[in-house]
Amino acid sequence: MNGRNIILLIAAIVGVVLVVILTQSFLEGAQRQATTTAQRPVVANEQIMVAARKLPRGTILTIKDFKWQDWPKDAMNPAYLQRKTSKMEDLQGKVVLDTIAEAAPITQTSLVSMGQRGYMAAILTPGMRAVTIKLNSIAGVAGFIFPGDRVDLLLTQNIPDPKTGIAKNITETILENVRILGIDTRTEKAENVARPGKSATIEVTPKIAEKLAIVPRLGSLSLALRPLAQEGEPDDQIIETAVLERAYTESAEISRFRTKFNEESEEEKKKNTLIVRRGGRMRQMEIDADNEIDRARAQGEAIGEAYARAQQESATPVEGQAGDVDDEGTDP
């Protein structure tokens, strides 16, 4: 056997020994790892409520806004809503006070419920104001308006006609597409039963809030329920119809008797009352401005009154006597 063969043999023997040693070491390590894993205690998980999406401040929660998720028990916080003590239905209608990131735990302090302090401020759109207006069973659409609906505001006034002096009942739509925040103290559709409310809280701009503060001095308000937003219509924009100078409705358009009275008043406005003073006496006479005889009489009375007044001023009273000068004989 030559030297080359001896070297190859020795190298083969060394290689076999190394393979055996490495294989044994690997098997021992795998066995130790399996033993350690088996001896390691299993960490229990709890299910908590987390946000299914990003929830901005003021979001009114629905069943699609949250979900249950496993959470390590050793990382639990007492403020978290746990599945064993909470129900999904309990969160519906609540409002987010501070923005919650997606998959972040939902806590009791991050939400506010109806009737709690801060609820109304939380559901208000940024930059808007909440204003309460008085209602009756008719003005409130017999209770068929619920929080979240949108309505038009109608103002009814009693305005005197500047020409005739006769008051006219006039109704106009002053606001359109106004969001209802609450009816009385109800701020969510807790019931599917129509209940007439005595007041409605609406969401408006600061300027409109100032205008609505004056409305009770002008007349009475009524609400008109709007349908759901249609294509091409603004879904959250309030429209001030007074700015648009839209048409209004007056009583003469509703009752023929109102029209008749207005026509009669047009005839009456042609008649004037002339007051004639003579000395200490005063009398009234009605004249028709379109009648030539009445106009002539009025002119004659006016001239006679002026002449009598001039005579009275120029007369010299008798010494020691006092009294009014009788001008009965001064009539022309």
Q: Is the pLDDT of residue 265 over 80?
A: no
| Averaged pLDDT, 49-63 | 89
> pLDDT, tens digit, for every residue of 202-253?
999 999 999 999 988 888 888 888 887 665 565 667 777 665 556 677 776 7
126 alpha-carbon distance from chain centroid: 13
Instruction: Answer yes or no: are the C-beta atoms of 187 and 114 closer than 8 Å.
Output: yes
> pLDDT, tens digit, for every residue of 281-312?
666 666 665 666 666 676 676 667 666 776 76
Query: DSSP state, 115?
Result: T
CATH for the stretch 45-120:
3.90.1210.10
> pLDDT, tens digit, for every residue of 88-135?
888 888 888 888 999 999 988 889 887 778 888 888 888 899 999 887
| Averaged pLDDT, 9-16 | 79
pLDDT at position 237: 77
Scanning the chain, the segments in alpha helix (DSSP H) are 3-39, 119-123, 206-218, 241-244, 256-268, 292-314
User: In the Cβ-directed half-sphere of 286, how many Cα atoms lie within 13 Å?
Assistant: 4
Tokens encoding 331: 């009539």
Parse the chain into domains and list their residue ranges.
45-120, 125-252, 271-317+324-330
Q: Is the pLDDT of residue 16 over 50?
A: yes
Distance CA(50)–CA(57), nearest Å, equals: 16
Scanning 93-237, the segments in alpha helix (DSSP H) are 119-123, 206-218
What pTM did the predictor assign? Answer: 0.53
Distance CA(284)–CA(276), nearest Å, equals: 6
| Residue in the structure block whose two tokens are 């399996």 | 34
Distance CA(146)–CA(229), nearest Å, equals: 16
